[in-house]
Amino acid sequence: FARAKRYLPHLTCKYFNRVLDEPQYDPMPTVGVRLVSVLSDNTQHVGQALFVRGMLQGFGWRV
C-alpha cells in the first residue's frame, strides 16, 4: 500500500488514457479502465471472503 501511495500521485491523465494492446476487447481498454476493473475484482473478493467469515464466525462489524 505504501508503494502505491508513493507511485500513483505521479501519474498523469495521459497515462490513464493510454490504450492497452488487448485486441480481444472491442474497444480496447485503457490503463484507467483496467485499473478500475482490477479494483472492482479485488473488492468483490474481499466481500466474498468476509461473507464466508460471517457464515463461519457469526455476524458482526469486527474485522
Running along the chain, 63 residues long, what does each successive block of 10 average in pLDDT? Answer: 89 94 96 95 94 82 62
pLDDT of residue 56: 87
d(CA 12, CA 27): 22
Would you list the domain boundaries of the chain?
2-57
- Angle (CA) 28 33 37, round 5°: 115
Contact 29, 20 (CB under 8 A): yes
Determine the pLDDT at residue 61.
Answer: 65
CA 20/CA 31 separation, integer angstroms: 6
pLDDT for the residue numbered 19: 97
d(CA 28, CA 9): 25
Residue-level pLDDT at 24: 97
- Global pTM reads 0.70
pLDDT at site 17? 96
